[in-house]
Amino acid sequence: MEIRGPVLLPARREDIELHTLDDLTLVGELALPVDRDPVATLVTLHPLPTAGGFMDSHILRKAAGRLPALADLAVLRFNTRGTTSPRGTSQGTFDGGASEALDVAAAVDFARERGLPRPWLVGWSFGTELALKYGRDHDVAGIILLSPPLHRATAEEVAAWAGDTRPLIVLVPEFDDYLRPDEARERFAAVPHAQVIAVEGGKHLWVGENQTRRVLTEIVAAVNPDALPLPQEWDGEPA
């Protein structure tokens, strides 16, 4: 079976709830390898909910659908406050990235309480702003930014990562709607160890199987490179 599109590979999947310090309940899902412990954890932060982003935005859904089986990763997805998906609606109201600091904290706390290993923040678009603004406050192994627009994260918040030794991986599509590779290199130059990866032919939404595979490969290259190359076919049964 070719691994593409909505294919769902085997995993232990659990509907979860996160609880924030301001007493909100956020809905989500945790996906784990079927018969072994994960080697690392992706705590995912979805695109802008007011523009249709949610925990099922396709790259995050495909990461959860494939990477527990292919790369021994735990994948935690959730809806930030006020966001709805088929899983349900998280309590609260969208706050433009301000109160969402508490949502990030709740997700990292959940990973710690469950004993999930080596959590990485993986943000896409709006989610990259949350990772940049708040990731330094938490015990995470590093952050991975997909299509960062740098609309909400200030130059000072970006530059603050220069004093942090944790990896900062930045995937920038060649034809992004908001931030393209040359400007991304300039704006992340304040962080000498930031790894800016220009993705040829890429667009902000990473549409198409080739773009999906590239993004998932770069995530695994950062988090569990021993799992590369990712298979493109699955010999067993789907989930």
DSSP string spanning the chain? -B--TT-----EEEEEEEE-TTS-EEEEEEEE-SSS--SEEEEEE-S-GGGT--TT-HHHHHHHHHHHHHH-EEEEEEPPTT-EETTEE-SS---TTSTHHHHHHHHHHHHHHTT-SSEEEEEETHHHHHHHHHGGGS--SEEEEES---SSS-HHHHHGGGG--S-EEEEEETT-SS--HHHHHHHTTTSTT-EEEEETT--TT--SHHHHHHHHHHHHHHH-GGGPSPPSB--S---
In a domain, 194, yes or no: no
In a domain, 132, yes or no: yes
Q: Is the pLDDT of residue 236 over 90?
A: no
pLDDT reported for residue 82: 98
Strand partners, 233: 2
Q: Of all residues in the chain, what percent carry a pLDDT higher than 90?
A: 98
How far apart, in whole angstroms, are the C-alpha atoms of residue 140 and residue 108?
8
In a domain, 115, yes or no: yes
The CATH number of the domain where 102 resides is what? 3.40.50.1820
Amino acid type, 176: D
Predicted confidence (pLDDT) per residue in 151-161, tens digit: 999 999 999 99
Taking the model in full, what pTM does it have? 0.98
In a domain, 160, yes or no: no
pLDDT reported for residue 107: 98
Q: What's the number of domains the chain is made of?
A: 1
Q: Is the pLDDT of residue 169 over 90?
A: yes
161 neighbors 153 (Cβ within 8 angstroms): no
In a domain, 50, yes or no: yes
Predicted confidence (pLDDT) per residue in 194-206, tens digit: 999 999 999 999 9
pLDDT reported for residue 234: 96
Average pLDDT of the segment spanning 222-234: 98
In a domain, 74, yes or no: yes
Q: Is the pLDDT of residue 94 over 90?
A: yes
Assign 174 a pLDDT band (cuts: 50, 70, 90). very high
b/e code 23-58 from CB counts within 10 Å (16+ = b): ebebbbbbbbbeeeebbbbbbbbbbbbeeebbbbbb
Question: What count of Cα atoms within 13 Å lies in the side-chain half-sphere of residue 221?
Answer: 14
Domain that holds residue 89: 12-136+207-227
How far apart, in whole angstroms, are the C-alpha atoms of residue 103 and residue 113?
15
Q: Is the pLDDT of residue 128 over 90?
A: yes
In a domain, 107, yes or no: yes
In a domain, 213, yes or no: yes
Tell me the two tokens of residue 59. 């790259």
- Give the chain's mean pLDDT: 97
Strands of 168-173's sheet in order across:
12-19, 25-32, 73-78, 40-45, 119-124, 142-146, 168-173, 195-199
